[in-house]
Amino acid sequence: MKAYVTVMPKNGVLDPQGKAIGHALAGLGFAGVGEVRAGKVIELELSETDPARAQAAAEDMARKLLANTVIESFRVEVR
């Protein structure tokens, strides 16, 4: 079973990478792009076969290691 953990900066937290991407897109002529936020996706291959347990395990991993919950939010999707 795979779990996908998406980690993003929380609203109100400075995102210099997102700002740089937005500025570069404007420089390349892409008009109409608003705020850009940059995050990461972590793909986990889990041996767990119960989707609820896999979800709980991935959320625990995200809280303990994968996301800095002070400045980042995360969401977990299990497939």
Q: How confident is the model at residue 47 (pLDDT cuts 50, 70, 90)?
A: very high
- Number of structural domains, the chain? 1
pLDDT digits (tens, 9 = 90+) for 22-37: 999 999 999 999 999 9
The conformation of residue 13, written as its DSSP 8-state character, comes to S
pTM of the model: 0.90
Residue 54's pLDDT is 98
Q: In this structure, what CATH number is given to the domain that contains residue 18?
A: 3.30.1280.10
Nearest to 44 by CA among 35, 34, 56: 56
Residue range of the domain that includes 60: 2-78
